[in-house]
Amino acid sequence: MEMAGVIASWASCYQPNRKIGAVIVKNKRIMTTGYNGAPAGVKTCVERGECLRRKLDIPSGTRQEVCYAIHAEQNAIIQAARLGVSIEGATLYCTHQPCGVCAKMIINAGITRVVYHEGYPDEFARELLAEAGVALERYEE
């Protein structure tokens, strides 16, 4: 979880409380990492000097597609695909509970356990993970 926090510090989100980090671990080895940020070749919110979601007054936990950034969990999964790294049966450590879109990707990537530190207002994501048999655990220090 400490590593997820370090990775989160690399995020290019304009909001300081929305820096998210993810680490995918399998057999006690770090497979990939991800943080929230704009896709390659796209200006980040920091470079733009504003948060699009705040500008449009979009509430947290809704309309995740309206954002320049890709979520940390998504970036970690995409990185595994790009590198040809199998993450089936892995654990994903994340600074925040995944959203519904990330939950779907986690399920289809074959990740079997998610450990998160901070909550996120997305009950649907929790339901999806539970139905798919993905263990969801809140990290307590």
Question: What positions carry a catalytic annotation?
Answer: 73
* The two structure tokens encoding residue 29: 């080895």
- Phi first, then psi, for residue 53 (nearest 5°) are -65, -40
**11, 127, 125: which is closest to 67 by C-alpha?**
11
| Size of the chain, expressed as the number of residues it contains | 141
- Find out whether 22 and 4 touch, Cβ atoms under 8 Å: yes
Strands 91-96 and 29-35: unpaired
